[in-house]
Amino acid sequence: MAAASVYAACRCAGLPRTLQEVSVTSTVSHERVQNAYSVLNRELELPMVPMEPLEYVPRVTSALGLPAGTRQRAAALAKQAVRTGVANGYNPAGVAAGCVYQAAREQDASKRGKTNFRCSVRSTPRHFKKP
């Protein structure tokens, strides 16, 4: 319940943290944290605002050691994805990772930063390619 409370506090405060990030530090399984969060959310009717992909872009680019230009391009792609509705129905962290991946490919920045994109970027980047 404590990990679920931390995740709920992050969501209410608008801090871009995934449930996976919070549950990793817990002594219980991810599923139990997820269930506890669902109960908290339902019982307390917490004011949750959906996270935007743009909120995750700085964390992803920083973790990968990518340059500011790549971060700016990824942010532009994330804004475009939200504006056009392409991001609808996707995990915002996955959309952000896809935007960073596409921006790094466009700018060939992957050679300068870490190259392990351990996020769900399998299908998302194709939506952000230049026409």
pLDDT over 90 percentage in the chain: 27
Q: Which structure tokens are listed for 88?
A: 């609808």
The number of beta carbons lying within 10 Å of the beta carbon of residue 113 is 17
Kindly tell me the number of DSSP H helices and DSSP E strands found in the chain: 6, 0
At residue 120, does pLDDT exceed 80? no
The SS3 assignment for 38 reads: helix
Mean pLDDT value across residues 24-46: 88
For residues 97 and 118, which has the higher predicted lDDT (pLDDT)? 97
The pTM assigned to this predicted structure is 0.68
Please state which of the ranges 52-61, 62-71, 112-121 shows the lowest mean pLDDT.
112-121
pLDDT at 77 over 90: yes
CA dist., res. 86 & res. 124, Å (int):
9
Is the C-alpha dihedral spanning 48, 54, 56, 62 positive or negative? negative
pLDDT classification of 12: cutoffs 50, 70, 90: confident
| pLDDT confidence band for 107 (50 / 70 / 90) | confident
Q: Give the mean pLDDT of the chain.
A: 82
pLDDT of 73 higher than 90: yes
Residue spans of the domains in the chain: they are 2-44, 53-128
Tokens of 25: 């530090």
pLDDT value at position 119?
45
Mean pLDDT of 40-69: 88
* pLDDT computed for residue 69 by the predictor: 92
Q: Which fold does the domain 53-128 belong to in CATH? A: Cyclin A; domain 1 (1.10.472)
